[in-house]
Amino acid sequence: MNVPPIKTPQEPGLGAARSRVAAAEQWAATTSGRFAPDGFSWMQAVCWVQLQDAYRPARAHGPRKVGETTLRIAVELARLSPCRPGVGYLVRILKLSERTIQYHLAILREAGLLAYRSKGTRVAKEGGRASEFVRVIPEAFDTALHLTTRPCLRLIRTLTGIGQAGRSLMKRLARTAQKVMRRPRLSPARASRPSRCTPKGGSADSSSSAGVTTVPPESKLEHGKYRATAPNKPKPGAHRSTNHVGRRFQLARELIVQVDWLRGCSVPRIAWVIRNVADAGWTAQEVRGWLHFRCQNTARIRRASGFLATLLHRAEEILDTPAKRTDAVAQWQTATEAARRHRIQTVRQRSEHCSADWLAPSSHAVQRLVADAIAATLAPSRHDDALSEPATSQNLTDADLQVLRATARAEYMQGETALITSAVEILGRPSAEAMYGPDLVHRALLLAKGLERIKVHRSAKNHPMSSSAFS
Protein backbone atom coordinates (compact mmCIF):
# COMPACT_ATOMS: atom_id res chain seq x y z
CA MET A 1 0.00 0.00 0.00
CA ASN A 2 1.97 2.97 -1.28
CA VAL A 3 1.10 6.37 0.18
CA PRO A 4 2.05 9.32 -2.06
CA PRO A 5 4.63 11.58 -0.44
CA ILE A 6 3.20 14.99 0.45
CA LYS A 7 6.03 16.20 2.61
CA THR A 8 7.30 19.53 1.32
CA PRO A 9 9.51 22.17 2.91
CA GLN A 10 6.69 24.74 2.84
CA GLU A 11 4.09 22.38 4.33
CA PRO A 12 3.15 23.46 7.85
CA GLY A 13 2.75 20.74 10.45
CA LEU A 14 5.50 18.52 9.05
CA GLY A 15 8.93 18.10 10.57
CA ALA A 16 7.88 17.96 14.25
CA ALA A 17 10.10 16.25 16.84
CA ARG A 18 9.85 12.47 17.14
CA SER A 19 8.37 11.14 20.38
CA ARG A 20 7.32 7.96 22.13
CA VAL A 21 4.53 7.48 24.68
CA ALA A 22 5.56 5.66 27.86
CA ALA A 23 3.77 2.51 28.97
CA ALA A 24 2.12 4.29 31.90
CA GLU A 25 0.43 6.75 29.50
CA GLN A 26 -0.95 4.07 27.17
CA TRP A 27 -4.27 3.86 29.02
CA ALA A 28 -7.52 5.71 28.44
CA ALA A 29 -7.35 7.26 31.90
CA THR A 30 -3.78 8.56 31.56
CA THR A 31 -3.41 9.49 27.88
CA SER A 32 -2.61 13.09 26.94
CA GLY A 33 -4.43 12.89 23.60
CA ARG A 34 -8.13 13.12 22.82
CA PHE A 35 -10.49 10.33 21.77
CA ALA A 36 -11.21 10.17 18.05
CA PRO A 37 -14.90 10.79 17.26
CA ASP A 38 -14.82 8.32 14.33
CA GLY A 39 -12.49 6.02 12.44
CA PHE A 40 -11.85 8.40 9.53
CA SER A 41 -10.63 11.22 11.78
CA TRP A 42 -8.36 8.76 13.53
CA MET A 43 -6.94 7.54 10.19
CA GLN A 44 -6.00 11.15 9.37
CA ALA A 45 -3.89 11.22 12.54
CA VAL A 46 -2.32 7.84 11.66
CA CYS A 47 -1.39 9.09 8.18
CA TRP A 48 0.09 12.25 9.70
CA VAL A 49 2.33 10.20 12.05
CA GLN A 50 3.39 8.01 9.12
CA LEU A 51 4.13 10.92 6.80
CA GLN A 52 6.18 13.02 9.20
CA ASP A 53 7.83 9.99 10.91
CA ALA A 54 6.82 11.22 14.36
CA TYR A 55 7.35 7.87 16.09
CA ARG A 56 10.66 7.26 17.90
CA PRO A 57 11.32 3.50 18.35
CA ALA A 58 12.66 2.14 21.64
CA ARG A 59 13.36 -1.52 20.84
CA ALA A 60 16.33 -2.88 18.91
CA HIS A 61 14.35 -5.58 17.09
CA GLY A 62 11.24 -5.70 14.96
CA PRO A 63 9.80 -2.85 12.84
CA ARG A 64 11.03 0.59 13.76
CA LYS A 65 8.55 2.95 12.10
CA VAL A 66 4.91 3.36 11.11
CA GLY A 67 4.88 1.69 7.70
CA GLU A 68 2.51 0.07 5.23
CA THR A 69 1.78 -2.91 7.49
CA THR A 70 0.92 -0.53 10.33
CA LEU A 71 -1.52 1.28 8.03
CA ARG A 72 -3.20 -2.00 7.07
CA ILE A 73 -3.72 -2.87 10.73
CA ALA A 74 -4.94 0.66 11.49
CA VAL A 75 -7.55 0.43 8.70
CA GLU A 76 -8.99 -2.73 10.28
CA LEU A 77 -9.01 -1.08 13.71
CA ALA A 78 -10.81 1.98 12.31
CA ARG A 79 -13.66 -0.25 11.07
CA LEU A 80 -14.22 -2.00 14.42
CA SER A 81 -16.79 -0.77 16.91
CA PRO A 82 -16.00 -1.34 19.72
CA CYS A 83 -12.27 -1.52 19.00
CA ARG A 84 -11.60 -4.96 20.50
CA PRO A 85 -9.41 -6.78 17.94
CA GLY A 86 -8.21 -10.24 18.81
CA VAL A 87 -4.77 -11.16 17.55
CA GLY A 88 -6.18 -14.31 15.95
CA TYR A 89 -8.80 -12.24 14.12
CA LEU A 90 -6.18 -9.87 12.68
CA VAL A 91 -3.97 -12.80 11.68
CA ARG A 92 -6.89 -14.40 9.82
CA ILE A 93 -8.01 -11.18 8.09
CA LEU A 94 -4.63 -9.67 7.17
CA LYS A 95 -2.70 -12.94 6.59
CA LEU A 96 0.13 -11.78 8.86
CA SER A 97 1.99 -13.59 11.61
CA GLU A 98 1.04 -13.24 15.27
CA ARG A 99 4.39 -11.66 16.13
CA THR A 100 3.96 -9.03 13.39
CA ILE A 101 0.50 -8.08 14.70
CA GLN A 102 1.86 -7.65 18.22
CA TYR A 103 4.77 -5.51 17.00
CA HIS A 104 2.57 -3.05 15.08
CA LEU A 105 -0.06 -2.81 17.83
CA ALA A 106 2.79 -1.82 20.15
CA ILE A 107 3.92 0.79 17.60
CA LEU A 108 0.43 2.31 17.50
CA ARG A 109 0.32 2.48 21.30
CA GLU A 110 3.80 3.99 21.63
CA ALA A 111 2.99 6.56 18.91
CA GLY A 112 0.03 7.78 21.00
CA LEU A 113 -2.62 6.51 18.56
CA LEU A 114 -4.07 3.72 20.73
CA ALA A 115 -4.81 3.46 24.44
CA TYR A 116 -5.99 0.55 26.53
CA ARG A 117 -9.56 0.62 27.79
CA SER A 118 -9.14 -2.89 29.19
CA LYS A 119 -6.21 -5.24 28.77
CA GLY A 120 -6.77 -8.79 27.51
CA THR A 121 -6.46 -11.67 29.90
CA ARG A 122 -7.21 -15.37 30.29
CA VAL A 123 -10.34 -16.30 32.22
CA ALA A 124 -10.71 -19.74 33.77
CA LYS A 125 -13.22 -21.99 31.94
CA GLU A 126 -13.94 -19.17 29.46
CA GLY A 127 -10.75 -18.85 27.41
CA GLY A 128 -8.89 -15.72 26.33
CA ARG A 129 -10.44 -12.26 26.28
CA ALA A 130 -9.11 -9.71 23.76
CA SER A 131 -7.90 -6.25 24.73
CA GLU A 132 -10.18 -3.28 24.06
CA PHE A 133 -8.60 -0.10 22.73
CA VAL A 134 -9.58 3.53 22.39
CA ARG A 135 -8.58 5.34 19.19
CA VAL A 136 -6.60 8.42 20.28
CA ILE A 137 -5.53 11.51 18.36
CA PRO A 138 -2.20 12.77 19.77
CA GLU A 139 -1.90 16.30 21.15
CA ALA A 140 1.00 16.94 18.75
CA PHE A 141 -1.39 16.41 15.83
CA ASP A 142 -3.69 19.20 17.07
CA THR A 143 -0.72 21.52 17.56
CA ALA A 144 0.81 20.81 14.15
CA LEU A 145 -2.47 21.43 12.27
CA HIS A 146 -3.48 24.48 14.36
CA LEU A 147 -6.66 22.84 15.67
CA THR A 148 -8.65 24.48 18.47
CA THR A 149 -10.36 22.26 21.04
CA ARG A 150 -12.40 22.59 24.20
CA PRO A 151 -12.87 20.18 27.13
CA CYS A 152 -15.42 17.41 26.66
CA LEU A 153 -16.51 14.67 29.06
CA ARG A 154 -16.98 11.99 26.41
CA LEU A 155 -13.91 12.69 24.20
CA ILE A 156 -11.64 14.50 26.73
CA ARG A 157 -11.39 17.34 24.17
CA THR A 158 -13.59 18.05 21.16
CA LEU A 159 -12.65 19.92 17.99
CA THR A 160 -14.06 23.45 17.61
CA GLY A 161 -12.07 24.89 14.71
CA ILE A 162 -8.96 24.85 12.54
CA GLY A 163 -6.51 27.56 11.70
CA GLN A 164 -5.89 28.75 8.17
CA ALA A 165 -2.31 27.41 8.21
CA GLY A 166 -3.43 23.81 8.69
CA ARG A 167 -6.31 23.61 6.22
CA SER A 168 -4.24 22.56 3.18
CA LEU A 169 -2.53 19.78 5.14
CA MET A 170 -5.87 18.64 6.56
CA LYS A 171 -7.26 18.31 3.02
CA ARG A 172 -4.28 16.24 1.91
CA LEU A 173 -4.53 14.00 4.97
CA ALA A 174 -8.24 13.49 4.24
CA ARG A 175 -7.47 12.40 0.67
CA THR A 176 -4.69 10.10 1.87
CA ALA A 177 -6.90 8.49 4.55
CA GLN A 178 -9.70 8.04 2.04
CA LYS A 179 -7.32 6.33 -0.38
CA VAL A 180 -5.93 4.08 2.35
CA MET A 181 -9.37 3.05 3.64
CA ARG A 182 -10.84 2.42 0.19
CA ARG A 183 -11.67 -1.25 -0.31
CA PRO A 184 -10.35 -2.79 -3.54
CA ARG A 185 -13.03 -3.36 -6.13
CA LEU A 186 -13.26 -6.95 -7.31
CA SER A 187 -13.48 -7.20 -11.10
CA PRO A 188 -15.93 -9.77 -12.46
CA ALA A 189 -14.40 -12.93 -13.86
CA ARG A 190 -14.01 -12.94 -17.58
CA ALA A 191 -16.01 -15.49 -19.50
CA SER A 192 -13.86 -18.26 -20.85
CA ARG A 193 -13.74 -18.42 -24.62
CA PRO A 194 -12.65 -21.35 -26.74
CA SER A 195 -9.13 -20.84 -28.01
CA ARG A 196 -8.26 -21.04 -31.69
CA CYS A 197 -5.03 -21.19 -33.60
CA THR A 198 -4.01 -17.62 -34.26
CA PRO A 199 -2.79 -17.06 -37.85
CA LYS A 200 0.03 -14.68 -38.52
CA GLY A 201 -1.36 -11.19 -38.56
CA GLY A 202 -4.88 -12.43 -37.80
CA SER A 203 -7.16 -12.47 -34.76
CA ALA A 204 -8.47 -15.26 -32.54
CA ASP A 205 -12.04 -13.96 -32.58
CA SER A 206 -14.45 -16.02 -34.69
CA SER A 207 -16.76 -13.06 -35.31
CA SER A 208 -16.22 -9.81 -37.18
CA SER A 209 -17.84 -6.43 -36.71
CA ALA A 210 -18.64 -6.34 -40.44
CA GLY A 211 -20.21 -9.78 -40.38
CA VAL A 212 -17.71 -11.17 -42.95
CA THR A 213 -15.14 -13.81 -42.01
CA THR A 214 -11.81 -13.35 -43.76
CA VAL A 215 -9.34 -16.20 -44.08
CA PRO A 216 -5.71 -15.20 -44.63
CA PRO A 217 -3.71 -16.84 -47.42
CA GLU A 218 -1.44 -19.77 -46.67
CA SER A 219 1.64 -17.67 -47.31
CA LYS A 220 0.81 -15.59 -44.23
CA LEU A 221 0.18 -18.54 -41.92
CA GLU A 222 2.63 -19.01 -39.10
CA HIS A 223 5.19 -21.76 -39.57
CA GLY A 224 7.30 -22.92 -36.61
CA LYS A 225 8.48 -25.78 -34.52
CA TYR A 226 6.44 -27.29 -31.73
CA ARG A 227 7.41 -26.16 -28.28
CA ALA A 228 6.36 -28.07 -25.22
CA THR A 229 4.45 -26.06 -22.61
CA ALA A 230 5.45 -28.35 -19.73
CA PRO A 231 8.12 -26.91 -17.40
CA ASN A 232 11.64 -28.17 -17.83
CA LYS A 233 12.68 -30.93 -15.49
CA PRO A 234 15.42 -30.02 -13.04
CA LYS A 235 18.85 -31.37 -13.70
CA PRO A 236 19.88 -34.44 -11.65
CA GLY A 237 22.92 -32.74 -10.16
CA ALA A 238 21.19 -29.49 -9.28
CA HIS A 239 20.11 -29.15 -5.64
CA ARG A 240 19.59 -26.38 -3.16
CA SER A 241 22.43 -25.67 -0.79
CA THR A 242 21.68 -25.82 2.93
CA ASN A 243 22.10 -22.61 4.93
CA HIS A 244 23.47 -22.44 8.47
CA VAL A 245 20.05 -23.02 10.07
CA GLY A 246 19.50 -26.09 7.91
CA ARG A 247 22.91 -27.46 8.90
CA ARG A 248 22.00 -27.05 12.58
CA PHE A 249 18.81 -29.05 12.16
CA GLN A 250 20.56 -31.69 10.04
CA LEU A 251 23.28 -32.20 12.67
CA ALA A 252 20.65 -32.29 15.44
CA ARG A 253 18.71 -35.07 13.68
CA GLU A 254 21.90 -37.11 13.17
CA LEU A 255 22.90 -36.80 16.84
CA ILE A 256 19.43 -37.79 18.08
CA VAL A 257 19.64 -40.97 16.01
CA GLN A 258 23.25 -41.86 16.88
CA VAL A 259 23.55 -40.88 20.58
CA ASP A 260 21.54 -43.13 22.91
CA TRP A 261 20.78 -40.60 25.66
CA LEU A 262 19.47 -38.05 23.13
CA ARG A 263 16.66 -40.30 21.89
CA GLY A 264 13.28 -38.58 22.04
CA CYS A 265 14.66 -35.03 22.31
CA SER A 266 13.18 -32.14 20.36
CA VAL A 267 15.06 -31.43 17.12
CA PRO A 268 14.69 -27.61 17.35
CA ARG A 269 15.95 -27.61 20.94
CA ILE A 270 19.01 -29.73 20.10
CA ALA A 271 19.63 -27.58 17.00
CA TRP A 272 19.76 -24.50 19.25
CA VAL A 273 22.14 -26.22 21.70
CA ILE A 274 24.62 -27.27 18.98
CA ARG A 275 24.40 -24.02 17.01
CA ASN A 276 28.02 -23.04 17.73
CA VAL A 277 29.62 -26.33 16.70
CA ALA A 278 27.30 -26.62 13.68
CA ASP A 279 28.29 -23.15 12.49
CA ALA A 280 31.95 -24.12 12.98
CA GLY A 281 31.51 -27.02 10.52
CA TRP A 282 31.50 -29.98 12.94
CA THR A 283 30.12 -33.36 11.85
CA ALA A 284 28.19 -35.88 13.92
CA GLN A 285 31.28 -38.09 14.26
CA GLU A 286 33.35 -35.16 15.56
CA VAL A 287 30.67 -34.26 18.12
CA ARG A 288 30.52 -37.89 19.31
CA GLY A 289 34.31 -37.96 19.59
CA TRP A 290 34.20 -34.87 21.81
CA LEU A 291 31.37 -36.30 23.94
CA HIS A 292 33.34 -39.52 24.46
CA PHE A 293 36.12 -37.67 26.27
CA ARG A 294 33.84 -35.29 28.16
CA CYS A 295 31.22 -37.66 29.60
CA GLN A 296 31.95 -41.00 31.22
CA ASN A 297 28.77 -41.75 33.17
CA THR A 298 25.48 -41.28 31.31
CA ALA A 299 23.33 -43.49 33.52
CA ARG A 300 21.57 -40.65 35.40
CA ILE A 301 20.71 -37.88 32.94
CA ARG A 302 17.60 -35.90 33.87
CA ARG A 303 17.61 -33.38 31.01
CA ALA A 304 19.52 -34.43 27.93
CA SER A 305 19.52 -31.02 26.18
CA GLY A 306 20.97 -29.23 29.20
CA PHE A 307 23.55 -31.97 29.69
CA LEU A 308 24.57 -31.67 26.04
CA ALA A 309 24.88 -27.87 26.36
CA THR A 310 27.20 -28.31 29.34
CA LEU A 311 29.39 -30.82 27.51
CA LEU A 312 29.67 -28.66 24.36
CA HIS A 313 30.58 -25.48 26.22
CA ARG A 314 33.57 -23.86 24.41
CA ALA A 315 34.15 -27.02 22.37
CA GLU A 316 34.54 -25.01 19.17
CA GLU A 317 37.31 -22.98 20.85
CA ILE A 318 39.29 -26.01 22.05
CA LEU A 319 39.06 -28.07 18.85
CA ASP A 320 39.28 -25.09 16.54
CA THR A 321 40.91 -26.83 13.56
CA PRO A 322 39.84 -29.81 11.43
CA ALA A 323 43.10 -31.60 12.29
CA LYS A 324 42.33 -31.52 16.02
CA ARG A 325 38.81 -32.80 15.42
CA THR A 326 40.11 -35.61 13.19
CA ASP A 327 42.58 -36.63 15.91
CA ALA A 328 39.79 -36.67 18.50
CA VAL A 329 37.65 -38.88 16.26
CA ALA A 330 40.57 -41.30 15.73
CA GLN A 331 41.19 -41.56 19.49
CA TRP A 332 37.50 -42.15 20.14
CA GLN A 333 37.31 -44.91 17.54
CA THR A 334 40.46 -46.56 18.96
CA ALA A 335 39.06 -46.50 22.49
CA THR A 336 35.73 -47.87 21.28
CA GLU A 337 37.45 -50.74 19.46
CA ALA A 338 39.58 -51.55 22.51
CA ALA A 339 36.50 -51.62 24.75
CA ARG A 340 34.72 -53.90 22.29
CA ARG A 341 37.63 -56.36 22.24
CA HIS A 342 37.82 -56.32 26.02
CA ARG A 343 34.13 -57.21 26.27
CA ILE A 344 34.55 -60.06 23.79
CA GLN A 345 37.58 -61.40 25.68
CA THR A 346 35.77 -61.19 29.02
CA VAL A 347 32.73 -63.07 27.73
CA ARG A 348 34.97 -65.70 26.14
CA GLN A 349 36.93 -66.27 29.35
CA ARG A 350 33.73 -66.52 31.34
CA SER A 351 32.31 -69.07 28.94
CA GLU A 352 35.49 -71.15 28.99
CA HIS A 353 35.59 -70.95 32.77
CA CYS A 354 32.01 -72.23 33.11
CA SER A 355 32.38 -75.07 30.59
CA ALA A 356 35.87 -76.30 31.63
CA ASP A 357 36.56 -79.34 33.85
CA TRP A 358 37.47 -79.09 37.55
CA LEU A 359 41.02 -78.05 38.33
CA ALA A 360 42.84 -78.85 41.54
CA PRO A 361 43.58 -75.96 43.93
CA SER A 362 46.73 -74.11 42.92
CA SER A 363 47.76 -73.23 46.47
CA HIS A 364 50.18 -75.76 48.03
CA ALA A 365 48.96 -74.94 51.52
CA VAL A 366 45.36 -75.74 50.53
CA GLN A 367 46.49 -78.98 48.88
CA ARG A 368 48.33 -79.99 52.08
CA LEU A 369 45.32 -79.17 54.27
CA VAL A 370 43.00 -81.19 52.04
CA ALA A 371 45.39 -84.13 52.03
CA ASP A 372 45.70 -84.01 55.83
CA ALA A 373 41.94 -83.85 56.23
CA ILE A 374 41.39 -86.80 53.95
CA ALA A 375 44.13 -88.82 55.71
CA ALA A 376 42.63 -88.01 59.11
CA THR A 377 39.21 -89.23 58.05
CA LEU A 378 40.63 -92.46 56.69
CA ALA A 379 42.45 -93.25 60.00
CA PRO A 380 40.56 -95.65 62.37
CA SER A 381 38.79 -93.98 65.30
CA ARG A 382 39.38 -95.03 68.91
CA HIS A 383 35.76 -95.59 69.83
CA ASP A 384 32.40 -95.34 68.14
CA ASP A 385 31.34 -92.21 70.02
CA ALA A 386 33.94 -90.21 68.14
CA LEU A 387 32.07 -90.75 64.87
CA SER A 388 29.44 -88.24 65.88
CA GLU A 389 32.03 -85.45 65.51
CA PRO A 390 34.09 -84.90 62.31
CA ALA A 391 37.66 -86.07 62.49
CA THR A 392 38.96 -82.81 61.06
CA SER A 393 38.05 -80.87 64.16
CA GLN A 394 40.51 -83.01 66.09
CA ASN A 395 43.39 -82.99 63.62
CA LEU A 396 43.24 -79.35 62.38
CA THR A 397 44.00 -76.31 64.46
CA ASP A 398 41.89 -73.18 64.51
CA ALA A 399 44.42 -71.33 62.34
CA ASP A 400 44.31 -74.08 59.73
CA LEU A 401 40.52 -74.04 59.69
CA GLN A 402 40.49 -70.25 59.16
CA VAL A 403 42.94 -70.51 56.27
CA LEU A 404 40.93 -73.33 54.72
CA ARG A 405 37.62 -71.50 55.02
CA ALA A 406 39.10 -68.24 53.65
CA THR A 407 40.51 -70.09 50.63
CA ALA A 408 37.22 -71.88 49.98
CA ARG A 409 35.25 -68.64 50.22
CA ALA A 410 37.62 -66.86 47.82
CA GLU A 411 37.27 -69.66 45.27
CA TYR A 412 33.49 -69.59 45.73
CA MET A 413 33.40 -65.85 44.95
CA GLN A 414 35.22 -66.65 41.69
CA GLY A 415 32.75 -69.37 40.77
CA GLU A 416 34.91 -72.35 41.92
CA THR A 417 33.18 -74.97 44.10
CA ALA A 418 35.55 -77.91 43.59
CA LEU A 419 37.18 -77.64 47.02
CA ILE A 420 33.89 -77.82 48.90
CA THR A 421 32.18 -80.38 46.66
CA SER A 422 35.18 -82.70 46.87
CA ALA A 423 35.10 -82.48 50.65
CA VAL A 424 31.35 -83.30 50.62
CA GLU A 425 31.89 -86.30 48.36
CA ILE A 426 34.86 -87.67 50.32
CA LEU A 427 34.12 -86.69 53.93
CA GLY A 428 30.37 -86.32 53.83
CA ARG A 429 28.27 -83.24 54.31
CA PRO A 430 28.53 -83.09 58.16
CA SER A 431 32.32 -83.13 58.06
CA ALA A 432 32.40 -80.58 55.23
CA GLU A 433 30.08 -78.30 57.19
CA ALA A 434 32.33 -78.62 60.22
CA MET A 435 35.34 -77.61 58.10
CA TYR A 436 33.81 -74.79 55.98
CA GLY A 437 30.62 -73.87 57.77
CA PRO A 438 27.00 -74.85 56.91
CA ASP A 439 26.20 -71.61 55.06
CA LEU A 440 29.18 -71.78 52.67
CA VAL A 441 28.60 -75.50 51.98
CA HIS A 442 24.92 -74.87 51.20
CA ARG A 443 25.72 -72.03 48.77
CA ALA A 444 28.50 -73.97 47.08
CA LEU A 445 26.24 -76.97 46.46
CA LEU A 446 23.55 -74.73 44.92
CA LEU A 447 26.12 -73.10 42.64
CA ALA A 448 27.48 -76.49 41.60
CA LYS A 449 23.99 -77.69 40.67
CA GLY A 450 23.41 -74.55 38.58
CA LEU A 451 26.70 -74.97 36.71
CA GLU A 452 25.89 -78.60 36.05
CA ARG A 453 22.52 -77.64 34.52
CA ILE A 454 24.19 -75.08 32.25
CA LYS A 455 26.74 -77.64 31.09
CA VAL A 456 24.01 -80.20 30.34
CA HIS A 457 21.97 -77.60 28.43
CA ARG A 458 24.95 -76.60 26.29
CA SER A 459 25.88 -80.18 25.51
CA ALA A 460 22.29 -80.93 24.45
CA LYS A 461 22.19 -77.82 22.28
CA ASN A 462 25.44 -78.68 20.50
CA HIS A 463 24.53 -82.32 19.97
CA PRO A 464 24.35 -83.22 16.25
CA MET A 465 20.93 -84.85 16.69
CA SER A 466 19.36 -81.83 18.36
CA SER A 467 16.48 -79.98 16.72
CA SER A 468 18.60 -76.86 16.07
CA ALA A 469 20.90 -78.84 13.76
CA PHE A 470 18.06 -79.33 11.27
CA SER A 471 16.73 -75.77 11.34
Average pLDDT, the chain: 79
Where along the chain do its domains lie? 23-181, 254-356, 364-461
For the stretch 362-397, pLDDT in tens is 677 777 777 777 777 776 655 444 444 444 555 677
Neighbours of 136 (CB within 10 A): 26
Burial of 202-230, coded b for 16+ CB within 10 Å and e otherwise, reads eeeeeeeeeeeeeeeeeeeeeeeeeeeee
pLDDT the model gives residue 153 = 83
For the stretch 283-337, pLDDT in tens is 999 999 999 888 767 778 889 999 999 999 999 999 999 999 999 999 999 998 9
Percent of the chain exceeding pLDDT 70 equals 74
3-state SS class at 265: coil
- Give the pairing type, strands 34-35 and 132-137: antiparallel
Q: What's the rounded Cα separation, in Å, for the pair 443 and 438?
A: 9
For the stretch 154-165, pLDDT in tens is 888 888 888 888
3-state SS class at 442: helix
pLDDT the model gives residue 125 = 65
Ramachandran region of residue 242, left (φ > 0), alpha (ψ -120 to 50) or beta? Answer: beta
For the stretch 187-225, pLDDT in tens is 555 544 554 555 444 444 444 444 455 666 666 655 555
Q: What's the rounded Cα separation, in Å, for the pair 216 and 199?
A: 8
pLDDT the model gives residue 405 = 84
Contact 391, 440 (CB under 8 A): no
For the stretch 265-275, pLDDT in tens is 999 999 999 99
pLDDT the model gives residue 456 = 64
Residue 129 dihedral angles phi and psi, to the nearest 5°? -125, 125
pLDDT the model gives residue 216 = 64
- Tell me how many helices (H) and strands (E) the chain has: 19, 7
pLDDT band of residue 464 (cuts 50, 70, 90) is very low
Neighbours of 137 (CB within 10 A): 26
Contact 420, 367 (CB under 8 A): no
How far apart are the two ends of the chain, measured CA to CA in Å?
78
pLDDT band of residue 226 (cuts 50, 70, 90) is low
User: Counting Cβ atoms within 10 Å, is residue 237 exposed (0-12), middle (13-18) or buried (19+)?
Assistant: exposed
pLDDT the model gives residue 368 = 76
